[in-house]
Amino acid sequence: MPERRRTVLVAHGDERVDDWYWLADRDDPAVVEHLAAENAYTEAATAHLAPLRAALYDEMVARIEETDLSVPARKGPWWYYRRTEEGRDYPIHCRRPATGDDPPLEAAPPGVEEVLLDENLLAEGHDYLDVANLAVSPDHTRLAYAVDRTGAELFDLAFRQLGGPQVTESPEVVTGTYHGVAWAADSRTVFYTRVDEAMRPYQLWRHEVGSDPDGDRLVLEEPDRRFALSVGTTSDEAYVLASLQSTTTSEVWAVRAERPGDDPVVIWGRRAGIEYDVDHLPDGDAGWWLVTTNDGAEDFRLLALPDSGGDAAGAVELIPHRPGTRLDGVQAFAGWLAVSERLDGEHRVRVAPLGPPPGPPSPGLLDGSWLVPSDEHPATTYDGPNPEFDARSLRYEETSLVTPRSVLDVDVDDRRTVLRKRQPVLGGYDPAQYRTFRLWATADDGTAVPISVAHRGDLLADPAAPPGTAPAVPAPCLLYGYGAYEISIDPVFSSLRLSLLDRGFVFAIAHVRGGGELGRRWYEDGRLAKKPHTFGDFVACARHLVGAGFTVPERLVGRGGSAGGLLIGAVANQAPELFCALVAEVPFVDCLTTMLDDSLPLTVGEWEEWGNPAADPEIYAVMKSYSPYDNVTGPADGGPAVTYPRILATAGLHDPRVGYWEPAKWVAKLRHANPDNVAFLRTELGAGHGGPSGRYDAWREEAMTLAFVLDALGLAGEPGS
C-alpha cells in the first residue's frame, strides 16, 4: 500500500481529502517506484494464470493471417496498400504500378513492389512506435510520415523521396508536431500542426521539403483553449482545410492548394453551438462548398454554397434535416456523393448522384439516392479508402459482431457489388455457428437503451429459437460500454473475442447515452449535467441481461476504457452487486480533480463535454456525485462495508489524455477502503493512452485481460481454458 499523504482540496466551500494526490507528481522518484511495485504485485498475484495467458495468446495468433495484405486502393498510376509479415510487429507500406481495374490481392513479383515505409525498421531498438501522418504527395514523388517513440503523441515529421531505385530521406526533421498533415498542390509544401503546453493542437505551420524547419511559417493560431485544430484536404485536393472544433462549435479555414503561400480564408465564422465540416465540389473555374451542419438541424443537414463566399442564408439545401437520422458527413466525387449516416443505432452509407455542372447540385438529392446494401442487423457499413475523386465505384466495408470484416466495391452506375476480400479467420471459423441480435433495456427514466449481443448458437436449448432467446442456462457475460463525445461503439467483428465466445460467453455492447448511436439527442442526454444517464443506462443494460436470463451477477463482467473507464468506475460505486469483475483500461476515474485543474492536458477543451466544475457549483455537485475516485467507500473511511467486484485497471506512464495517476490513485483507495477489495493495476511504463504499440504485445495484453476475466469467473481451469 503506498504512503498516504493528506491533501485537502477545496472548491465552492466543499472540502475533499485526497490521501494519494502525490501520485500525480511524475518527477517524484517514489511515484515510478510505486508504479513498478504495482506491476510486480499484479504479476505475482496473477502468476498462476501464466499457462492460461499463453494458451489464450496462442489461440488468438492461430486465428490471424499473420502475413497478410490489405486491399490496394488506386490513386493515379499506383495501387497503394500495406502488408504484414509473420513474426513482425508493424505494417509495411507499399505501392505497385496500377494495371487493370481490379486491385491485386497477391504478393507483388520481385521488382514490382516499391516499399514506401517499413515500420519494423523504424522500431528497431525501441520499445514503442507510433507512425502517423503517412501521406504521399499529389505527384507521388514524396512521402511524409511522423514518428512517436514514447506514446506521448509528439511526433517527428520526416520526408522521403520516392520513385527511384532506392528510397532516400530528406535531411530535415520537423520535431514536436502533432496528428495531421496536408500536402499542397506543388508536392513540395506541407502543412502540419503543433500543440500548446496542454497538448491542445492550436497552430498550423507550413514547411517546404528540403528547407530548414527553423524557417517554417506559422499560418494560423487558435488562442481559445476550447478549440482544437486539425488539418486535411478536400476530396478534390483543391483546398487545404484547417478545422477548429470545440465540443459544440466549429470553424473551418481554407487555403487554395495551388497557392499555399496565401493566407487562409474562413468559410463560416464561428457561432456558438453551430458545428459544420466541409468538402469541395469543383464547377468550372468556380466550385461549391458542401457543408454538413447542425445549423437549424439537430441531426444535421447538407448545404451547398459558392466557394466564393456566403452563409447559410444563401445556401442550397441538398439533404434536409431528418430527425432521428444522424448525417455524419459526405465525401465528394465527380458526379456523386458518398453520404455517411446513422439510423437505429447502425452506421450506413448512401450513394447520391449529382446533377451535371454548371450550377449547384440538385436540392432533391435524396430522391435519386440509394443505400449500400446490408442484409445483417445489427451490423456496420462504412466507406473505406476512396482516394480518387474521379472514381465510379465506392470502396466500402461491412461487418457485425459475428461476421468478419468484408471489403467490397460497388459500381455507382449499375450498383454491381464485388467482394474484394473477407477478413481471414484461420481454424475453420463458421459465422453460422454464432448469433447476433439487438436487445433493449429500460433505464430508470423510461428510456429504451439498445444492447448489441453475440454468442454461440449452441448455448440455446432450441437451435431454431428466435433471435433474442436467452441461453438454456445463464452464461458468463462480458458487457462493454463507452458513452461519451458522441462516439458510437459499433458492432464490429474481432477474432480475439472468439476466445470468449467459444468458451460459452455472451458478449454485449451497451449503447449508452453520451455516445452517438441514436443521433445527436442521444449524445446530449449523456453529457454535462445529464452525464449520470450514461451510468444508469449501463446498469439498466446489466440488469436486463440478468433479468432476461442471459447471465447472473456472479457471471457478469463489465469493461470499458478511457471515458468508458469512467463509466466502469462509476458503475462500481453504484451497483457493485451486479458484477463479478470489472476491467477499466486507462480509466478517467479521478475526473473531478482533473477537470478542476486547467493546467492539465485537454481540461479546458473538455469543459463543454463534462462541464466546468471550477466555475459552476451545480456541475461540481453533479460531477462529485459520480466521480469514481471520490465515491469509493468502505469501513476504513467510516462507510458501509462495500466489497467491490474484482478490478483490473491499466495505465500508461506517458499518457497525455488520462493521467496514469488516476487509475493508480483509484486502486490505492479501493484497497484502503476495504482490505477485502481485490484490485490490480498494470502500468505501461514505456507507452501512452493506446497501450503497447506492437501487434504481438497488444495480443499478449488482451490475453492477460481475458485471463483475468476467466479467473474472476472461476473458469480459468475449465476445459478449453
Q: Which three cell numbers stand for residue 176?
A: 514536436
Name the β-bridge partners of 455: 435
Q: What is the pLDDT, as a whole number, of residue 463?
A: 87
Q: What distance in Å separates the CA atoms of residue 668 and residue 663, rounded to the nearest whole number?
A: 8
Task: Indicate which residue of 654, 655, 672, 711 is catalytic.
Answer: 655
| Domains observed in the chain | 7-61+428-712 (3.40.50.1820), 66-117 (no CATH), 126-274 (2.130.10.120), 276-424 (2.130.10.120)
Do strands 406-411 and 316-319 pair parallel, antiparallel, or not at all (unpaired)? Answer: unpaired
Do strands 130-136 and 142-148 pair parallel, antiparallel, or not at all (unpaired)? Answer: antiparallel
Do strands 265-268 and 181-183 pair parallel, antiparallel, or not at all (unpaired)? Answer: unpaired
Residues 304 and 337: beta-carbon distance below 8 Å: no
Q: What is the pLDDT, as a whole number, of residue 655?
A: 85
Q: If you ran DSSP here, which 8-state letter would residue 203 be given?
A: E
Q: What is the pLDDT, as a whole number, of residue 718?
A: 56
- How many residues does this entry show for the chain? 721
User: What does the H/E/C string look like for 312-375?
Assistant: HHHCEEEECCCCCCEEEEEEEECCEEEEEEEECCEEEEEEEECCCCCCCCCCCHHHHCEECCCC
Between the alpha carbon of residue 591 and those of residues 48, 148, 454, 562, the distances in Å are: 34, 27, 32, 11
Q: What is the pLDDT, as a whole number, of residue 721?
A: 44
CA 181, distance to chain mean position in Å, is 19
Instruction: Work out the burial of residue 280: count CB atoms within 10 Å of its CB; fewer than 13 is exposed, 13-18 middle, 19 or more buried.
Output: buried
Q: What is the pLDDT, as a whole number, of residue 688?
A: 74
Residue linked to cell 483490473: 648
- pTM, two decimal places: 0.96
Q: Could you give the residue ranges of the DSSP H alpha helices within 146-287?
A: none
Task: Indicate which residue of 488, 689, 693, 711 is catalytic.
Answer: 689
Q: Is 590 a catalytic residue?
A: no
Q: What is the pLDDT, as a whole number, of residue 1?
A: 65
Q: What distance in Å separates the CA atoms of residue 132 and residue 623, rounded to the nearest whole number?
A: 35
* Structure-derived torsion over alpha carbons of residues 27, 29, 34, 36, reported in degrees to the nearest 10: 100
Q: Is 562 a catalytic residue?
A: yes
Angle between helix axes 532-547 and 617-626 (nearest 10 degrees) is 30
Q: Is 126 a catalytic residue?
A: no
- Which residue positions in the chain have pLDDT lower than 50? 719, 721
Q: What is the pLDDT, as a whole number, of residue 554?
A: 97
Q: If you ran DSSP here, which 8-state letter would residue 365 be given?
A: G
At 455, phi and psi to the nearest 5? -165, 170
Task: Indicate which residue of 562, 590, 627, 711 is catalytic.
Answer: 562
| Secondary structure of residue 360 in the 3-state scheme | coil
Residues 541 and 508: beta-carbon distance below 8 Å: yes
Q: What is the pLDDT, as a whole number, of residue 62?
A: 97
Q: What distance in Å separates the CA atoms of residue 514 and residue 485, rounded to the nearest whole number?
A: 7
Beta-strand ranges (E) seen in 550-605 are 556-561, 581-585
